Amino acid sequence: MRWLFSFLVLVLAGVASAVSTKGNRLLVVLEEKSEKDSYSKFWADLKERGFQLSFESPKNDALSLFQHGERAYDHIIIFPAKSKGLGPSLTAQNLLKYLNSDGNILIALSSKTPAPTALTALLLELDIHLPPERSNLVVDHFNHDVLSASEKHDVVLLPRPDPLRQDVKNFFGGQGKGEELIAFPRGVGHALGNASPLVAPVLRAPRTAYAYNQKDEATVVEEPFAVGQQLGLVSTLQARNNARLAVLGAVEMLSDEWFDAKVKRSPGENGAGKGAKEVRTSNRAFAREISAWTFSETGVLK
C-alpha cells in the first residue's frame, strides 16, 4: 500500500504543477552573473514548475539556439545586457528564426541599460517599438510608490489588468481584488503598432504616465516618447505558429526585492488615493502568470 500511496502523491503533484506543452529546457541569457542572486525567487518558481534552467552569457561564443537543425532550448529569457550586441547567436535574425521554430521568448528591459540593437530590431520586426532614446524612463507623478520613489516617481503602481475583451479569459487578473498592485520599477515603455493583430498589451501605463529621455534635464518634458495608455509596459505576441513572446519593460519586476515589497500609492489626481494603506505587491504572482503564458503552460489546449 505504501508504494500505491507514493504513486498517487506523484500523480497528484504532476497534475497540480503547470507543465509546458513545448518542453522544459529554458535558456536564461544573463550577462552579469552577480545579478543572478537578485532573482533567486523567480528562478525557484520556475524550477518548481519543472523547468531546467541553463544560464549563459551573451558573450559566450559557444552558445547556440539550435543543434542539428532543431531547437536546443524550448524557451528563452533575455535579461538586460550592457553590450550593444548580444553576440553571433542572438542576432535579430536568429531570434526570429527561433520564434519561427516554435520557440518562446521572454524579454526583460531596464531604464538603466539600453536595449541591445538585436532586440530593438527584433521587436520592430514584430511591430513593437522601443524609444529611439537609449536612456528612456517611465514616470508617473500621480500613480507612484511614495515609499521608494517619493522624489523621482519612477516606480509606477498599477492595478491588475482588465481582460482585453469580455469573451477572452484574463490570465493576468489575479484574484480579482481591487487592492492588488503591481510595481513597475524604473522601466522602459514601448509602443504597439497597428499593423499586427498578433500583438496585445497586458499592462498599459496609467493616463498620467509618460516616458522621456533621462538625459533631458529640463523641468518640463516637451517631447515625451509616448504618454498615458499609448505606453505599453508589458505586452505579448502569439505568432501564427503559436510561438509566444513577452516584453517586460522593467526587469526589476522579477527581482526578490519587488516580489514581496511593501508599497503605498501616491494620492493621485484630485487626491483620489489619499489615505492609501501599505500593501505588498502582486509582482510574484504576476511574474508567475506572465511567464506561464509565455512558456505555454496556460492558454493552450492540452
Confirm whether pTM is higher than 0.85. Answer: yes
The answer to whether residue 233 sits within a structural domain is: yes
Q: Is residue 207 part of a domain?
A: yes
CATH code, domain with 216:
3.40.50
Tell me, what's the pLDDT at 218?
A: 53
Q: Which is nearest to 81 in space by CA: 58, 98, 107, 106?
A: 58
Q: What is the pLDDT of residues 20-62, one digit of tens each?
A: 889 999 999 999 889 999 999 999 999 999 999 999 999 999 9
State the cell numbers at 263. Answer: 508599497
- What mean pLDDT is reported for the chain? 88
Residue 179, pLDDT score: 78
| Neighbour-count burial for 167-194, b at 16+ CB within 10 Å, e otherwise | eeebbbeeeeeeebbbbbbbbbbbbbee
Print the domain residue range for 203: 22-141+185-253+282-294
Per the structure, the count of domains in the chain is: 1
Q: Write down the pLDDT at residue 248.
A: 98
Q: Is residue 259 in some structural domain?
A: no
pLDDT at 3: 37
Residue 262 lies in a domain: no
Structure confidence at residue 11 (pLDDT)? 34
Which pLDDT score, from 0 to 100, does residue 170 have? 82
Distances (CA, A) of 180 to 48, 143, 223, 257: 24, 14, 32, 17
Residues in the chain predicted with pLDDT less than 70, given as ranges, are: 1-18, 167, 176-178, 217-222, 269-274, 302
> Does 261 reside within a domain?
no
Provide the pLDDT for residue 16.
39
How many CB atoms lie under 10 A from the CB of residue 298?
17
In a domain, 209, yes or no: yes
For residue 22, what are the CA distances in angstroms to 30, 49, 73, 102, 270? 22, 13, 10, 8, 49
Is 258 part of any domain?
Answer: no
Residue 218 placed within a domain: yes
HSE-CB at 292 with a 13 A cutoff on CA atoms is: 18
Percent of the chain scored above 90 by pLDDT? 68
For 101-132, the pLDDT digits (tens) are: 999 999 999 999 999 999 999 999 999 999 98
